[in-house]
């Protein structure tokens, strides 16, 4: 019933747009006939604006063709997985998928390429996220897949393409209209539709959960529901802390096995258990949400009939069968060939060595270019610190956007890090130290005798106690050659991108907004791209297209993006003050600049990546602190 009401409201929106357009056009004609030419022109332009906005939005979303993506899992190669899916489809009383894909996301989804407004069935697709194979057991994965197949059995996917296209056109029509009575009317109608559609979607999710219980039991279903949110966070952490080490050293990692080991680390298991409950407790509940909160869904399971519990606790990847196929699947999910496949211990050894060697080379370069040392040898660097010039030595490495009050502590931390990395570089070069994989903290550095090396901690103590002589003796005892210099590394102080807001609006244009440590960068977003993104996002498949777009954008150096003639860079020194505040359906930031003002606001397409809110807040706080210091206020 709710789905029908949502569909009626959706159709009603376009009827309303048509009525407004015709009404405004008729009013314009009446004004012209009555001798009110100027007013008639204004009303006529308003009618044209509405017609153009909805026409452009509809035309754009209709051009979008959603394509399947990910690594195909053919029936012949993965018989156990297909047998399981077929069994679940029978239990859900529905036709199973025609195509199963493995995707690099913490998600499972179904969709159907139906025809004739959903009256004619089409190819059915099932997407299974690779992280689910590592983070769930077979019983939990059965519950997840049965939930998705439950959407088929209840007919939830038949009109999904149509409704999401129409919804995308609705949202873009409202977004493209300027402020005024017409926009206010349509925006209000849009919110009403979103409320009804949200209620319909939440009801559908609860219906699909019933299929999970039938296939796997209440225990496995509840466990999977509670685990999915924290798996999403863990997968992001795994990529940031571990997968990111592979590309710089030209190696292809074992994605599935690595994530399983990451989750199995005792320290990680404890953190995940604690964070899991916090995530569920903090989950929002809004009339616009497409999914009920996990706590509501788990509570609803108790009202369903009891079924025999599913007790298959094998890792979910067991359904893939032969382990030798996993590397091929993982390679298909990677955007590019990174290099030969390597074990995680090998990747960590290479990455750790590259990390400390690079940092040591930068410090040597700064020291010699700045006239602090002649060669950049560690002994000379310690002499610089002994003379009280440590903060001056590393100052060129500190970001311009760092508030004045934070520079001393930042200089101290940077100095400790680079001195420690220089010592480790010299030890590794002589074969007296190495990097050992640690799924709790990336790596542990060990001396050749097997003991853990805590070089940075020892430097902290030496600086706190003013005991550089003792530090020299300790380093020499480890075998660090204090008179040897490392190879210098040319460097350019890079702008640090703290976060990114996609598809924001400033003036009449749309942009991606990079929040950097020393300013803001607005990069124009192509209009066609801005208008077509929402459909695939709504279908749950926009992640790939958006990821590819952002990957291409981020592949460019931020300094090169700044040099683009159509980009706009607002340096931190150009910002006098600013305010970040809420607005209906989003936020706005208003800046006072040395050369004028700038206003940026979110749109219905805006997403955040990284920590742009924190970065923007820090940037504005920096300017407030500088302004306060200039005015003589604390």
Q: pTM for the whole thing?
A: 0.71
Question: In sequence order, what are the residues at sequence separation of 6 or more whose Cβ sits closer than 8 angstroms to the Cβ of residue 142?
Answer: 84, 88, 215, 216, 220, 310, 312
pLDDT by residue (tens digit) across 393-411? 998 888 666 667 778 899 9
Residues 497/520, Cβ–Cβ less than 8 Å: no
Provide the token pair at 387: 């003379």
H/E run at residue 553: helix 542-555
Which pLDDT belongs to residue 279?
83
140 by DSSP, 3-state: which? helix
Percent helix, strand and coil across the chain, each rounded to 5?
60, 15, 25
Percent of the chain clearing pLDDT 70 (strictly above): 75
Residues 6+ apart with CB under 8 A from 11: 166
Q: Tell which CATH architecture fits domain 497-629.
A: Roll (2.30)
Average pLDDT, the chain: 80
pLDDT in tens, 526-536: 643 433 333 23
Report the pLDDT averaged over residues 320-331.
82
pLDDT at 170 over 90: no
Residues 81-109: tens digit of each pLDDT? 999 999 998 888 888 899 999 998 898 88
Q: pLDDT band at 176, cuts 50/70/90?
A: low
Average pLDDT over residues 184-191: 72
Q: How much is the pLDDT for 388? A: 94
From CA 537, how far away is CA 335, in angstroms rounded?
Answer: 20
SS (H, E, C) 45-104: HHHHHHHHHHHHHHHHHHHCCCCCCCEECCCCCCHHHHHHHHHHHHHCCCCCCCEEEEEC
pLDDT at 139 over 90: yes
Under 8 Å between Cβ of 367 and 381: yes
Contact 126, 82 (CB under 8 A): no
Q: pLDDT tens for residues 346-392? A: 999 999 999 999 999 999 999 999 999 999 999 999 999 999 999 99
Query: Burial letters for 281-309: b for 16+ Cβ neighbours within 10 Å, e otherwise?
Result: eeeeeeeebbebbbeebbeebeeeeeeee
What token pair was written down for 51? 């017609």
Whole-angstrom distance, CA of residue 19 vs CA of residue 30: 16
* Residue 541, pLDDT score: 32
Per-residue pLDDT, 412: 94
User: pLDDT tens digit string along 455-480?
Assistant: 999 999 999 999 999 999 999 999 99
């Amino acid at each position: 019933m709710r789905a029908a009401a949502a569909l009626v409201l959706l159709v009603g929106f376009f009827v309303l747009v048509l009525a407004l357009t015709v009404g405004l056009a008729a009013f314009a004609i009446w004004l012209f006939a009555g001798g009110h030419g100027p007013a008639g022109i204004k009303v006529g332009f308003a009618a044209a604006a509405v017609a153009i906005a909805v026409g452009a939005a509809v035309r754009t979303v209709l051009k979008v063709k959603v394509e399947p993506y990910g690594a195909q899992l053919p029936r012949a190669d993965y018989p156990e997985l297909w047998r399981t899916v077929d069994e679940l489809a029978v239990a859900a009383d529905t036709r199973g998928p025609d195509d199963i894909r493995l995707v690099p996301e913490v998600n499972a989804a179904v969709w159907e390429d139906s025809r004739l407004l959903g009256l004619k069935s089409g190819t059915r697709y099932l997407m299974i996220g690779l992280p689910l194979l590592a983070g769930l057991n077979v019983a939990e994965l059965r519950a997840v897949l049965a939930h998705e197949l439950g959407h088929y059995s209840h007919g939830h996917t038949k009109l999904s393409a149509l409704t999401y296209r129409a919804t995308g056109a609705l949202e873009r029509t409202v977004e493209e209209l300027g402020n005024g009575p017409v926009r206010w009317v349509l925006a209000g109608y849009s919110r009403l539709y979103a409320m009804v559609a949200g209620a319909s979607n939440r009801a559908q999710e609860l219906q699909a959960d019933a299929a999970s219980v039938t296939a796997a039991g209440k225990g496995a279903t509840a466990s999977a529901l509670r685990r999915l949110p924290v798996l999403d966070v863990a997968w992001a952490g795994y990529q940031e802390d571990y997968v990111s080490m592979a590309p710089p050293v030209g190696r292809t990692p074992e994605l599935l096995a690595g994530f399983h080991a990451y989750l199995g680390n005792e320290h990680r298991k404890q953190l995940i258990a604690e964070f899991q409950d916090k995530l569920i407790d903090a989950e929002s509940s809004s009339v616009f949400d497409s999914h009920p909160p996990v706590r509501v869904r788990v509570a609803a399971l108790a009202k369903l009939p009891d079924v025999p519990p599913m007790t298959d606790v094998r890792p979910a990847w067991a359904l893939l069968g032969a382990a030798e196929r996993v590397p091929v699947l993982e390679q298909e999910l990677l955007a590019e060939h990174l290099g030969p496949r390597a074990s995680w211990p090998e990747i960590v050894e290479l990455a750790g060595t590259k990390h400390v060697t690079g940092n040591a080379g930068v410090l040597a370069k700064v020291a010699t270019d700045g006239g602090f040392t002649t060669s950049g040898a560690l002994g000379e660097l310690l002499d610089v610190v002994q003379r009280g010039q440590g903060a001056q030595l590393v100052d060129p490495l500190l970001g311009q956007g760092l508030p004045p009050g934070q520079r001393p502590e930042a200089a101290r931390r940077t100095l400790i890090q680079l001195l420690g990395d220089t010592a480790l570089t010299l030890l590794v070069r002589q074969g007296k130290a190495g990097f050992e994989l640690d799924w709790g903290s990336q790596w542990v550095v060990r001396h050749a005798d097997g003991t853990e090396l805590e070089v940075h901690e020892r430097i902290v103590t030496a600086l706190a106690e003013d005991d550089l002589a003792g530090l020299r003796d300790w380093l020499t005892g480890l075998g660090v050659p204090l008179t040897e210099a490392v190879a210098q590394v040319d460097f350019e102080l890079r702008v640090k991108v703290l976060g990114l807001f996609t598809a924001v609006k400033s003036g009449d244009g749309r942009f991606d907004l990079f929040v950097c440590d020393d300013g803001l960068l607005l990069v124009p977003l192509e209009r066609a791209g801005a208008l077509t993104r929402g459909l695939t996002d709504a279908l749950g498949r926009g992640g790939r297209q958006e990821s590819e777009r952002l990957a291409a954008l981020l592949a460019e150096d931020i300094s090169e993006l700044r040099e683009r003639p159509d980009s706009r860079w607002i340096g931190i020194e150009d910002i006098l003050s600013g305010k970040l505040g809420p607005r209906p359906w989003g936020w706005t930031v208003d800046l006072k600049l040395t050369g004028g003002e700038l206003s940026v606001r979110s749109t219905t397409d805006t997403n955040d990546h990284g920590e742009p809110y924190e970065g923007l807040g820090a940037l504005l706080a920096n300017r407030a602190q500088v302004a306060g210091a200039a005015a003589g206020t604390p």
